[in-house]
Amino acid sequence: MELPYLIVWSLAIQLVVLLLPQLAGARLLSETHRLINDLFEENGYNPYVRPVYNHTTIIDVQMLLFVAQVLEMDERRQTLTTNLWITFEWYDEFLRWDPEDYGGVESIKVKSDEVWMPDITLYNCAADKYIPYMDKKVNVVYHNGLVNWASPIIIKSHCTIDVTHFPFDKQGCELKFGPWQYSGKEVVLNGEGDATVFNSDGEWDMEGLTALLKKNFTLMPPIPYTHVLFTVHLRRLSMYYVFNLVMPCVLISGITVLGFVLPSDSGEKVSLGITVLLSLTVFLLLIAESMPPSSDVPVIGQYYAGTMLLVSISIMLTVIVLNLHHRGPQCKPVPQWVRRYVLGSVAKVLRVPRHNTLSKRSRMLLKMHREEAESLMEMAQSHINPNESPIMAINNMSRNAVRNNKSSSDQEKTRCCGHIQADLMRRMLDHLRYLREHFEGIDNSEKVRNEWKMVAQVVDRIFLILYVMGSVSTLLIIVLGMKQPTKEEAATAGH
């Protein structure tokens, strides 16, 4: 009979062990219900009344702001969307109890609609409407009256963005929090910032978060109002823009140099410059779409505008070079001072090779015609005295032929032969004179044309050097202009 009793006693002990925690929890739960009933119903707690026994007591609200992430920075609309973790703490004199009276309950959780809440508002809100972000949240109330409100929120605020150094810029966006209805005689807000939980989105990195307590007064009557001004210091990660905006501009401006190296006879010098100019215009429009419509021109916009100006000037200089290159024989010859300085000194300094003024084909034709002219001259000189003029020699030949023939028939034949020889020699001399004048004209025309081409080549080389110097100077000016003042310099400039 002892064995059944032992089994019953063991089962009872196990049942007590299992039910004991549940009974303790039920008792604790009943103590929490009793505590909430005593605080809010028995004492007649009113969430619209400031929780102080003396109406002159100022409630000190402590604010802790964590910036978790930058969701969007809209430079065109001057807004900043951030993910924040906010904590508010204050003491409520009506929510205090002794934990020993309620089974050791030290804290309770209640809805924010059931307790008094400071109406902390974001002054520089940029959302479409003000959202009461403090409503419908959970507050933790401790036995000493400390009330803790904590919640993550997403806010959209105004931010004055300085795009002068875009994309190498740093921004300081302000978040202005403060009570809207309670004055500084009722509620004082103090705040601190923490940037340890910040998670970069790949475009912005946080350099710091500062908080500054400020007090302002209304004019009529002079009532003080306090607010905390948080400043989020952000630095843009510019590598994305370097690869997508800066590097293409540098490469395109480098392609413009090829326009000066391209031969003038190709007919593509102006087309290349216009194509580069259109490409720069497209990139400049992409930058303008993301920038605010203000008078502040970003550094990259200045660089693009300067590069476009240089490309436009290069097109104008290319037109000048083509005009010099394609000058024909109808133009005036190269002036003597141009031939002396440009084709002489400057061409040697720039190492521009001096080519022959006549082409290979022209030299071959000129040699062939000179050989033909020399053979004709030899034939003519065999019948003409070199000391006499051609016309006098022909007349003397005719008179000698008539004088030497005695018979009339022989005289007629000789006279006829003399006239034929004279006519033949006259034709030969006219032909030689024509050939000489013709080839001298061709020689002079091609010489003038080639001299102008060489002048164009030297001028093109000069324009190339000027363009490279202008591009390097523009790049240096922009790089030096990207240097932003330090905090000390900015503070000195502000004072």
Instruction: Count the Cβ atoms, other than its own, within 10 Å of residue 53.
Output: 7
Note whether residue 91 is domain-resident: yes
**Residues 54-79, mean pLDDT to the nearest whole number:** 90
- Indicate the SS3 state at residue 388: coil
Note whether residue 164 is domain-resident: yes
For residue 355, the model assigns a pLDDT of: 55
**Residues 384-411, mean pLDDT to the nearest whole number:** 50
Note whether residue 194 is domain-resident: yes
Higher per-residue confidence, 94 vs 264: 94
- Angle at which helix 269-290 crosses helix 299-325, to 10 degrees, equals 170
Note whether residue 418 is domain-resident: no
Note whether residue 104 is domain-resident: yes
C-alpha 432/C-alpha 286 separation (Å) is 71
For residue 242, the model assigns a pLDDT of: 81
Q: How many CA atoms within 13 Å lie on the side-chain side of 60? A: 5
Task: Please say if the pLDDT value at position 19 is more than 70.
Answer: no
**Residues 368-377, mean pLDDT to the nearest whole number:** 58
C-alpha 80/C-alpha 369 separation (Å) is 85
Domain of 65 in residue numbering reads as 59-237
**Residues 190-213, mean pLDDT to the nearest whole number:** 88
- Indicate the SS3 state at residue 116: coil
Q: How far is CA 148 from the centre of its chain?
A: 47
* Confidence at 488, pLDDT banded by 50, 70, 90: very low
C-alpha 211/C-alpha 190 separation (Å) is 9
**Residues 66-92, mean pLDDT to the nearest whole number:** 92
For residue 281, the model assigns a pLDDT of: 81
For residue 31, the model assigns a pLDDT of: 82
Question: In the numeric block, which tokens belong to residue 377?
Answer: 């001259």
Task: Please say if the pLDDT value at position 267 is more than 70.
Answer: no
- Given CA atoms 447, 453, 454, 455 in this order, what sign does their dihedral have? positive
Note whether residue 4 is domain-resident: no
C-alpha 425/C-alpha 418 separation (Å) is 11
Note whether residue 347 is domain-resident: no
Contact call for residues 95 and 158 (beta carbons, < 8 A)? no
C-alpha 455/C-alpha 463 separation (Å) is 12
C-alpha 415/C-alpha 398 separation (Å) is 7
Domain count, the chain: 1
Contact call for residues 110 and 141 (beta carbons, < 8 A)? yes
Tell me the one-letter amino acid at 17. V
Task: Please say if the pLDDT value at position 65 is more than 90.
Answer: yes
Question: In the numeric block, which tokens belong to residue 276?
Answer: 């580069």
Of all residues in the chain, the percent with pLDDT exceeding 70 is 60
Q: pTM value?
A: 0.64
Q: What is the CATH number of the domain that holds 140?
A: 2.70.170.10
Note whether residue 478 is domain-resident: no
Tell me the one-letter amino acid at 260. F
Instruction: Count the Cβ atoms, other than its own, within 10 Å of residue 170.
Output: 14
